[in-house]
Amino acid sequence: MDGRLVDLARARGGLLTVAEADRLGVSPGVLHRLARAGDLVHVRRGVYALAESWDAATDPDRYAMRTRAVLRTREGVAAGHHGALLLAGVPLDRVPEERIHVCDTTGTGQRVRTKGPLSVHPRPVRSRVLLDALGDPYLDPASAVVLIARDDGAVAAAAALDQALRIRAVTVPDVERVLDTHDDRHGWVRQFRVLLADADPLSPAPAATRLRILLTDLGFRPRLRVPLRDSSGQFLTRPELLIGTSVAVVRDAYPPQVVDRLREVGVVLARIGPDESEHPELVAAAVAAALRELSALRTTRQAS
């Protein structure tokens, strides 16, 4: 494969358009043959990805590449929704399986236009169009978060928002200003306002935010990333979530010695397995088991 193509694609985020290749004197037919040989991956009409880049990419990485492919072959649009956040550097763990969302920046689009896997939305009120390091346009993160709340639900938007706050890509007042352009009579607006009030940049991952919301819905008031120390003040751990002062909710197993030291200071673990965090009944059962363990621990201490 021509080294010039490889260098260009690597400099462009692993992508190569037919137009860019043509400027190097490489025809569409050559690109097609390279794709058949496995050196390139056809991403969209007129756009290929280096196989090495595509194969190494996570699902969110591939979604960002597919979004860039649209931006580089279609004028007058900017990335929206999840694509905008990814281009802004916000770490996400879930993206739409197929749907790519962009926004019309020409001001002529008045309704959502959908063709195949692509949806073109009108540009939101008060939105700004930014350029990432590769020169690709995307909506400001506050507008993107509100679009996710509208189209994918308040929980999905809250999980994305916490990560945007964590990397300082957005502020809560930014999101509030965008949300104020929507009527509170819409159910999704009211739902997102509730979650917006609890937005937290300490969330280590989107899954932690979703678990926090689930626990809140179950009647608990978990706090994120509270440092736990032993009786001498030595740092022990910083669990993802803490219920009260004594139940640490975690998704990863802790070493036995850490569990023992936590028990010594009156803290027990409620471990939520990767297949359990989406099921309220399983999460509730894990917390209930931890509360029983805590009660038994306290009874034993009182007896001694």
Residue 303 has pLDDT above 90, yes or no: no
The mean pLDDT value for 233-251 works out to 93
Over residues 7-29, mean pLDDT: 95
Q: Is 103 helix (H, G, I), strand (E, B) or coil?
A: strand
Domain 209-303 annotated CATH 3.40.960: yes
Mean pLDDT of 29-34: 95
pLDDT > 70: percent of the chain: 100
Helix (H, G, I), strand (E, B) or coil at 40: strand
User: Strand runs (DSSP E) across the chain, as ranges?
Assistant: 15-17, 40-44, 47-50, 77-79, 100-104, 113-115, 118-121, 129-131, 137-139, 223-224, 228-229, 235-237, 241-243, 247-250, 268-271
pLDDT tens across 225-241, in order? Answer: 999 998 889 999 999 99
Spans of all domains in the chain: 1-55, 57-201, 209-303
Q: What is the average per-residue pLDDT within 189-215? A: 95
pLDDT digits (tens, 9 = 90+) for 265-274: 999 999 998 8
Can you tell me the distance from the alpha carbon of 207 to that of 215, in angstroms, rounded to the nearest whole number? 12
What is the pTM (predicted TM-score) of this model?
0.91
- Higher pLDDT among residues 113 and 110, named by residue: 113
